[in-house]
Amino acid sequence: MVDPAVAELPAVPAPNIEARREAVARHEALAVPVGGLGVLAELGCWLAAAQGVCPPRAPGRPRAVVVAADHGIAAAGVSAYPAGTTQRQAAAARDRVLPAAVVADVAGASVRVVDVGLDTPDPADERYRVRRGSGRIDHEDALTADETDAALRIGRALADEEVDAGADLLVPASLGVGATTAASTITAAVTGLEPVVVVGRGSGIGDDAWMRKAAAIRDALRRTRSVRRDPVGLLRVAGGADLAVLTGFLLQASLRRTPVLVDGLVVIAAATLAEQLAPGARQWWLAAQRSPEPAADALLARLQLEPVLDLGVRVGDGTGALALLPMLTMAARLLTDTATAADSGIAPARV
Q: Taking 80 as the threshold, does the pLDDT of residue 106 lie above it?
A: yes
- Say if residues 107 and 62 touch (Cβ distance below 8 Å): yes
- Say if residues 172 and 247 touch (Cβ distance below 8 Å): no
Enumerate residues 6+ apart whose C-beta is below 8 A from 52: 15, 16, 19, 257
Q: Taking 60 as the threshold, does the pLDDT of residue 71 lie above it?
A: yes
Distances (CA, A) of 332 to 26, 46, 64, 281, 343: 12, 10, 20, 23, 19
In one-letter notation, the amino acid at residue 87 is Q
Which residues are 68's β-sheet partners?
A: 115, 175
CATH topology of domain 62-323: Rossmann fold (3.40.50)
Q: pLDDT for 11-27, tens place per residue?
A: 999 999 999 999 999 99
Structure letter (DSSP) for residue 98: S
Centre a 10 Å sphere on the Cβ of residue 280 and count the other Cβ atoms it contains. Answer: 15
In one-letter notation, the amino acid at residue 283 is Q
Which pLDDT score is estimated for 130? 95
Mean pLDDT across 2-9: 81
| Position 341 confidence tier, pLDDT thresholds 50, 70, 90 | confident
At 3, give phi and psi (nearest 5°).
Answer: -65, 135
Which pLDDT score is estimated for 100? 95
Query: Which DSSP helix (H) or strand (E) runs through 86?
Result: helix 85-94
Q: Taking 80 as the threshold, does the pLDDT of residue 348 lie above it?
A: no
Q: Taking 60 as the threshold, does the pLDDT of residue 124 lie above it?
A: no
Which pLDDT score is estimated for 80? 86
- Average pLDDT for the chain: 93
Which pTM value belongs to this model?
A: 0.95
Centre a 10 Å sphere on the Cβ of residue 223 and count the other Cβ atoms it contains. Answer: 18
Q: Are strands 169-175 and 110-117 parallel, antiparallel or unpaired?
A: unpaired
Please calculate the CA angle 71-275-40 and round it to the nearest 5 degrees. Answer: 100
Map out the domains of the chain as residue ranges. Answer: 62-323
Centre a 10 Å sphere on the Cβ of residue 186 and count the other Cβ atoms it contains. Answer: 33
Nearest Cα to Cα of residue 305 among 332, 268, 274: 268
Lowest mean pLDDT among 3-7, 41-45, 59-63, 174-178: 3-7
Q: Taking 70 as the threshold, does the pLDDT of residue 349 lie above it?
A: no
State how far the Cα of 118 lies from the Cα of 113, in Å rounded to an integer.
Answer: 12
Report the SS3 class of residue 286: strand
State how far the Cα of 9 lies from the Cα of 281, in Å rounded to an integer.
Answer: 12
Q: Taking 70 as the threshold, does the pLDDT of residue 351 lie above it?
A: no
State how far the Cα of 48 lies from the Cα of 56, in Å rounded to an integer.
Answer: 5
